Chain A
Amino acid sequence: MGRPGFVLEVDERTPPLLVHEGEGFRLEKFPLGSRVIYPPDSLPPIRDVRGAIRHALEHPHGSEPLRELLKAGMKLTIAIDDISLPLPPMQSPDVRQLVLEEVIGLAARSGVEDLKLYMANSLHRRMTGAEIKHTVGERVHRSFYPKDLKNHDAEDRDNLVYLGKTDQGEEVELNKRAAESDLLIYVNINLVALDGGHKSVPVGLASYRSVRHHHNVHTMLHSKSYMDPRPGRSAIHDSCKRMGDLVKASGVKVFTIETTLNNRTFPEPFGFMNKREWEWSLLEQGTYLAAKKANDLSPSAARHQVWMRIKSPYGVTGVNAGETEAVHERTLAKLHEQQLVEVNGQSDVMVIGLPYLGPYNVNSIMNPILVHCLGLGYLFNMYRNKPVVRPGGVMIMFHPVPNEFHQVHHPSYVDFFEEVLAETNDPSTIESKYEERYATDPWYIHLYRKSHAYHGVHPFYMWYWGAHALDYLGDVIVVGGDPKTCQRLGYRAASSFRDALEMAGETVGRSPSISYLHVPPLAIADVR
């Protein structure tokens, strides 16, 4: 049994602590008395994953066994979480591959012939064939791709169906094939509490018409946090639940399969990044030095390639199948066992090191908007009850924030940065003034459907993810950040951590309390 999450109080015995900074990392000395929030130790993985999958399919929660739901002549659709999960991508075999092979094997034995698979990418970019192959495995890929294994297309009017409105007026529009199937099976990887549950089908297979009802500034400002999907805590989850209920009421039968992973995030030789620093062996200290120097000396293109090739040696900790809510309840329990850390009280300053990867730059570039989304969106929200930092507090992030964009994956981001952020960074103004135009721009839609671009509206959502943090924080300081880019984002750039603390002093005083959220591996702070 691994150790639970842990909050360290920095004392004179504490070695310098590892801090991620994009495609780099460093050791940083923290002031005495700072708190450092570490995730629980990695949970032991399930040894026989295929056996666990078979057991889950045979003994589902709130549903008949999958075997009994599969019948000859039926129309079956399987939707699969896309490339945004997990982070970093898993070493082969991806758990989705293992689940799919069991499910498809069952379907074949049951005489199912009409079977189609969709990557549930919603408004994300289309995955390439190689990326899909890594996710679903060679057998599934060879059997179905590209004819019967496709990316969901949220702008394909012929393959979308309008199911109706929720009692809150939220329109639900889904992938037609999925909605009209006799059975829709959703295969998920639940990396964080934001994922899964009713956020799978009503979001992953939806269109802009549907997604805009919960991906907006109002919802984000009322999701405190969106890593806490309990009813009434997260407006986005409440909205997704209403939509999920409507999907169910519309007669769409969904069989959900959710999986959880442990937090073995970094493979060797980067295993030291998974460990608490004072437990580093001499070999790991040497590995840090070698990796750090090699990383610093590498040309940026080579460095980028190395980071993007990292595949995580995650172990599977849970497989649950059946009715969406019954499954998700168990999934969250397992997830919390792996990620939840009790933290007493808030701090004046929250420190995070932004890693090289977020959900939207796999095999891509983390542009400034994605830095905002990762820092003020996802990592700020890694809490339950209260944020780690107090209202009006300061967030210090480590990242170079280069002014770089992936021209294929993020074309609308470039314009968002140059046009929209040049005028304002207020989420509400941005939403009302620009969103509609970007969302319906024919060129962006064309690139989304035919190239590998994120939807034109996607950078807006990335900005909205950080709306709550922007509203809540007194200041955002980025150590090592490009000053011009940071200025555009509304941040302040500092050349060193010491400078950043000095600058933070203007907002929170000379002796602030400091909490460092030591991720990845991921942790959710349960702030009391």
Chain B
Amino acid sequence: MDKLNQLTSSCVPLPIEDVDTDQIIPARFLKATTRLGFGENLFRDWRYEKDGSPKKDFVLNNPTYTGSILVAGKNFGCGSSREHAAWAIKDYGFRVVVSSFFADIFKGNAMNNGILPITVTQEFLNDIFLAIESDPHCQLSVSLQEQMLEITSTGKRTSFQIDPYKKMCLLNGYDDIDYLLSVQDKIEAFESTRA
């Protein structure tokens, strides 16, 4: 897994609530058997017309907004457990997603793929959307080590929560299997107590 600690980037605003993973990556693109190439179809049906031409009013088709941070409305990633949603976001080039609320499974999937989901208050989320509105190139600065997120243009900062174990994994690029394999003896001991 890729490591992540510091990141400063402009961002892509998606002020829609309850974005479900069927929108992030529709079911018909789940037939691939590798983790690659999902970025192409990220938000497919919001992004492209039926004939494949880009929808002008969708944010990913607006060259003004770029960067590796996605800022989304509350309850991002609800619905299906498909990890393909996290793969699509990563493959497209996002490393951080900011929202006021994440669906559980998406949040876990994101972290298992080296994406940092940052939960901020609704108020701070609105501050970010306002900052982007007044300057589409405005940057956000993330420090995972410090658990700090800053809107660089306004200097507004907020701290964020992350489980210490998950933080350690992201900082070092470890994944859960590495950990679980290291405690295999405990797992076997557990099994023998219930047999």
Partners in one complex: no
Q: Chain B: residues with CB nearer than 8 A to chain A? A: none
Q: Chain A: residues with CB nearer than 8 A to chain B? A: none
